[in-house]
């Protein structure tokens, strides 16, 4: 009578221990089984307090959650330092990565980044850049600058046709920081008529140029040199 009773008690105890062993196995293979960097760690929920300078990252899986201490928060989260615990908080629903709750760094698909916000369409005055998923403000051309000195083969003197250039910088509307828009330029031909140092002015004719003297058909006042009439 005692033997069947003892056997029954052993079977009942084994049945009670089965869920506990199964639960321990699940905890050991999940995130809660990693207590690296933890100050307070439980077998069921993982870390609840981390060492200094580490962030507490809470991973939710269904109705359960596990704590893990990390040096950097994973993508989609940002770190917030507190007096007792440094935590990883989730970015906004449209942010792929963020610097804070109100400032996105990269947006999810079908959204464009504009001044830290992820928008479905870019606001007026901006253009969507598909490669970077950003809204870039359109450029407004500024005034033309002054013409540069006229040069030919790197020289500003001589007698030749050269080129002069002016630029037109394009600034972004409504922005105080330096613009990064395209710089426009144009060139035109210009005459160079200025002697180089040590050279004479090629446009001036030589004043001391020798001239051939005219032949004076009058030899003297007596009319010598005139053709004589034929004798009668």
> pLDDT tens digits, the chain, 232 residues: what are they?
555 555 655 555 554 554 444 333 333 334 445 788 889 898 888 898 899 889 999 988 888 888 999 999 999 999 999 888 899 999 999 999 999 988 999 999 899 999 999 999 999 888 898 888 999 887 776 788 899 989 888 888 888 898 889 887 766 544 444 445 666 788 899 998 888 887 665 555 444 444 555 554 444 445 454 555 555 4
Partners of residue 184 on adjacent β-strands: 168
pLDDT of the residue at 135? 93
Distances (CA, A) of 122 to 95, 127, 133: 16, 7, 10
Collapsing DSSP to helix, strand or coil, 10 comes out as helix
pLDDT of the residue at 80? 92
pLDDT of the residue at 192? 87
Angle at CA 91, nearest 5°, toward 135 and 49? Answer: 155
pLDDT of the residue at 184? 77
pLDDT of the residue at 106? 94
State the burial class of residue 227 (Cβ atoms within 10 Å of its Cβ: 0-12, 13-18, 19+): exposed
Residue whose entry in the numeric block shows the structure tokens 């596990």: 66
Contact 41, 54 (CB under 8 A): no
pLDDT of the residue at 21? 42
Residue closest to 35 by CA, chosen among 53, 23, 51: 51
pLDDT of the residue at 20? 41
Partners of residue 102 on adjacent β-strands: none
């Amino acid at each position: 009578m005692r033997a069947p009773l003892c056997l029954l008690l052993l079977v009942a105890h084994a049945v009670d221990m089965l869920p506990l062993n199964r639960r321990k196995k699940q905890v050991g293979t999940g995130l809660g089984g990693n207590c690296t960097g933890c100050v307070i760690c439980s077998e069921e929920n993982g870390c609840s307090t981390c060492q200094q300078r580490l962030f507490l990252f809470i991973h939710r899986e269904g109705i359960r959650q596990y704590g893990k201490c990390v040096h950097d928060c994973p993508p989609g989260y940002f770190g917030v330092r507190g007096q007792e615990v440094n935590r990883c908080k989730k970015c906004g629903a449209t942010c792929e990565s963020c610097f804070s709750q109100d400032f996105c760094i990269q947006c999810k698909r079908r959204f464009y980044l504009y001044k830290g916000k992820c928008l479905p369409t870019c606001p007026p005055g901006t253009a969507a850049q598909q490669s970077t998923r950003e809204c870039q403000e359109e450029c407004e051309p500024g005034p033309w600058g002054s013409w540069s000195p006229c040069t030919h083969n790197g020289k500003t003197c001589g007698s030749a046709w050269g080129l002069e250039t002016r630029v037109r910088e394009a600034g972004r509307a409504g922005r105080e920081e330096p613009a990064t828009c395209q710089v426009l330029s144009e060139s035109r031909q210009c005459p160079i008529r200025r002697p180089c140092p040590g050279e004479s002015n090629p446009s001036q004719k030589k004043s001391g140029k020798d001239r051939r003297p005219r032949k004076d058909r009058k030899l003297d006042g007596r009319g010598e040199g005139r053709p004589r009439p034929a004798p009668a």
